[in-house]
Amino acid sequence: MFDETATPSQNPDVDVESLSETPSSDEFFLYSRIDGQTTVKELCTRSGLGRDATIEALERLADVGLVEVPGYEPQPSGPDESRSQPVDEEDSADESGDGLDLSYLPTPPESFDFPEDLLDLDVPLGDRKRREVICIHDHLDDLDHFEFFGVGRDADRGEIKRAYFKLSKRFHPDKHFRKELGPYNDMLERIFQQITKAHRILSDPKRRQTYEASLEDAGSEETSGSEHGAGATPMSHDEVESDTAGASDSGTKKRNAAFAQLVRRAKSSARSGDYEETTEHFRKALSLKRDADVALQAAQLLKQTRQHREEALLFARAAIRIDDDHVEARMLLGDVLEEMGRTEEAMAVYREVRQLDKDHRAASRRLDTLTDTSH
């Protein structure tokens, strides 16, 4: 651990080009801010990465020798060796029972029906971490932000902050730097996006007040006959009005039930590898109810196979048409375009994300990378 009053300095004897593994965009960014005068504490404040990510990036820079920090002894294994391990240190600890307590979820891990094909994948994640990722990812659309953080609606800022740090530490993308995780990459990315979104809303008093009001409105609508399903993320007031206008309570209930059933069938088809059926079920579901998050789920599932990237694009764009401010849908759209070699279009989408959220780190990283490779 660093002495936060220490002043890091760049090591002139180590050349970035000589390293066996190139530092990440965040590490390069932090490296450029190290001037031999700014303390560790000041870097944490000024970097914009957050304290934990700044400390982690600084440790990597010090371990490879690019940076010298008074009082800090570089780890002899270095970051390259640690990153090449089949399972990270935290996952090793998981096997001894030190993972997250997810008993607050509607269907906790001990009762969850895990897809064996995902558990059996050859990826560098421990078994407990895999189960956490799968279980939390499957609950994302069924929990409001308070439920997602495992806190009550009366939680104070301290509780919100502790819940945020617990989850973000566990699922931060940098923990799996340059590891090939297959479908777990997308699941981890979506979980982390939800973590940051929930924290952004619940830690801002005005946003939290508006959000709590929307939950109360949805709860009132639910008790008056509109059914969302147990634990479902409430629709906005506008969505509720649109969904119930001109229809009886029983008609709305049947339509919502059919919608939920089609979504379940779509996910089941995807697990069995039948993506044509997956596409058809999602299309039918969205014809019953315009739901941006479900359209995004369809895009995420179809993105996993090269043969269905065009369909993934269509569903991602559908999510954006339903919710023009849907950052996650835009990020996935950019990702698919990038995989298809449509770099300029992908960059345009990432710029749109930056317009919606100027602090969106993933979009900034992708823009930096694509800008570098295009020059």
The pTM of the full predicted model, rounded to 2 decimals, is: 0.41
Give yes or no for a contact between 292 and 239, defined as CB atoms under 8 angstroms apart: no
pLDDT at 72: 75
Domain ranges for the chain, please list them.
9-83, 88-223, 250-375
Mean pLDDT for all residues in the chain: 77
Q: Mind giving me the DSSP string for 295-349?
A: HHHHHHHHHTSGGGHHHHHHHHHHHHHH-TT-HHHHHHHHHHHHHTT-HHHHHHH
pLDDT at 232: 39
Which of 243, 305, 236 shows the shortest CA–CA distance to 269?
A: 305
**pLDDT tens-digit map of 87-146:** 444 454 444 445 678 887 888 888 888 888 888 888 888 888 889 889 888 888 888 899
**pLDDT tens-digit map of 219-257:** 555 444 444 343 334 444 333 334 434 434 555 666 777
C-alpha–C-alpha distance, residues 374 and 341, integer Å = 12
Per-residue pLDDT for 78 more than 60?
no
141 to each of 7, 264, 269, how far by Cα in Å?
44, 12, 18
Give yes or no for a contact between 97 and 89, defined as CB atoms under 8 angstroms apart: no
Hunting for tokens 């932090």 — which residue is that? 30
- Domain 88-223: which CATH number of 1.10.287.110, 3.30.1490.100, 3.40.50.620, 3.40.50.2300: 1.10.287.110
**pLDDT tens-digit map of 58-68:** 888 888 788 88
Give yes or no for a contact between 26 and 365, defined as CB atoms under 8 angstroms apart: yes
Q: What HEC string does 347-363 produce?
A: HHHHHHHHHHCCCCHHH
* DSSP helix/strand/coil, 10: strand
Which of 329, 265, 257, 311 shows the shortest CA–CA distance to 289?
A: 257
Lowest mean pLDDT: which of 92-101, 124-133, 170-179, 203-212? Answer: 92-101
- Identity of the highest mean pLDDT range in 15-19, 32-36, 336-340: 336-340
Give yes or no for a contact between 317 and 297, defined as CB atoms under 8 angstroms apart: no
Give me Rg for the CA atoms of the chain. 22
Per-residue pLDDT for 29 more than 60?
yes
C-alpha–C-alpha distance, residues 143 and 133, integer Å = 15
Beta bridge partners of 9: 68
The arrangement of secondary structure in 250-375, i.e. its CATH architecture, is: Alpha Horseshoe (1.25)
Hunting for tokens 């891990």 — which residue is that? 109
Q: What is the b/e burial string over 188-221, where b = at least 16 CB atoms within 10 angstroms of the residue's CB? A: bbbbbbbbbebbebbeeeeebeebbebeeebeeb
C-alpha–C-alpha distance, residues 266 and 258, integer Å = 12
Sign of the Cα torsion 61, 62, 65, 66 reads positive
pLDDT at 99: 65
Is residue 65 left, alpha or beta, with left meaning phi > 0 and alpha meaning psi from -120 to 50? left
**pLDDT tens-digit map of 252-307:** 666 777 788 788 888 888 887 888 888 888 988 888 888 999 999 999 999 888 78
pLDDT at 266: 87
C-alpha–C-alpha distance, residues 8 and 373, integer Å = 30
